[in-house]
Amino acid sequence: MPKVLIPEMGLFLTADLDFLGQRVIFIVITILADMGCLGIVILQVAMIAKERNLTVKVCADDATCGSPTWIGRGLTCVCFKRKGNYERICSNLTPLQASSPIHELRTQESMFFVLVLIDDMEERLTRVKRRMKANFDASRPDHQEALKALWSAAYPGEELHGLITDQWKEMGWQGRDPSTDFRGAGFISLENLLFFAKTFPTSFQRLLKKQGGKRAAWEYPFAVAGVNITFMIMQMLDLDTSKRRTFIRSVFLQILSENEWAFDLLYCVAFVVMDKQWLERNATYMEFNDILKSTRTQLERELLMDDVLRIQDMPSYSLLS
């Protein structure tokens, strides 16, 4: 059985097997420990030669756990994911399993969740990266409308007198012009705030108005804190393909394959976790960076839990309402 070693990625490929009378390309990808990802991913691709003319490509930039970028267009992949200690997982799929979007395989020792990477996974990752690179442009009508929509969601019924006004300070921007505060994280930080306001209005209003708990005399500014949280998540996920892969990045890509709004949902979880830790530590504004670091640690810990396969599975997701 032929094998190919690609040292810089730690990949071992085995191909050209016969599976249930079909031409099958069976690919085993070992994620090495020194890449920060302990575990193994197995991809199985079934092809019927008469129906499809498909090829398999390997790309050093994007060949990572949860990313199908290196696979020829139209292939359906099955990704076996197990968090924890290194373990080699080999399992064949029945035709029924191969046709199901998501299924569970139970073994004598443990449970493995199997995820079929859908064709638009690469498109979702590309879309998130594009959002992360987009700057806020005050001259663009759609960016202006997004800012107005945020105000309407935060203060329904209260008229906004302009895009540059002292009213913005009430939300926690540093000055009269909120566009100057987006430089750190770009337009996606505004999208995150707007998503939070529309998806979890109760939690959004509670944090905006600093309701509940013993509050400090010098509280964190809500809007600026939101921008910082976006930037923290961008650093944590490390989706820049030019950088070293991490286990957190791989886990997020698998979650993203199920929900295109995974980044925004993670943002909402991060905001309520940050506020919870802020209250528990009786923090003041000078301690904001420390709270942000501990928030990141908590998010990473929850994402790496064995039973967390969606953002909604994270224990802290229950804080949202």
Which stretch of 72-81, 157-166, 236-245 has the lowest confidence by average pLDDT?
A: 72-81
Backbone phi, then psi, for 74, in 5-degree steps? 95, -10
Residues in the chain: 321
- 125-166 pLDDT, tens digit per residue, is 889 999 999 999 999 999 999 999 999 999 999 999 999 999
Q: Where are the domains of the chain?
A: 3-119, 123-319
- 87-99 pLDDT, tens digit per residue, is 333 333 344 434 4
Mean pLDDT of 190-216: 95
Residue 66 falls in which region: left (phi positive, over 0), alpha (psi -120 to 50) or beta: left
Residue 24 has pLDDT above 50, yes or no: no
Mean pLDDT of 260-271: 98
CB < 8 Å & 24+ apart, contacts of 290-296: 292/228, 292/229, 292/232, 295/229, 295/232, 295/270, 296/232, 296/236
- Angstrom distance (rounded) from CA 204 to CA 159: 19
Q: Structure tokens of 286? A: 């000078």
List C-alpha distances in Å: 299 to 193, 252, 277, 295. 18, 11, 12, 6
Q: What is the pTM of this model?
A: 0.67
Q: Structure tokens of 254? A: 């698998």
Q: Structure tokens of 153? A: 């969601």
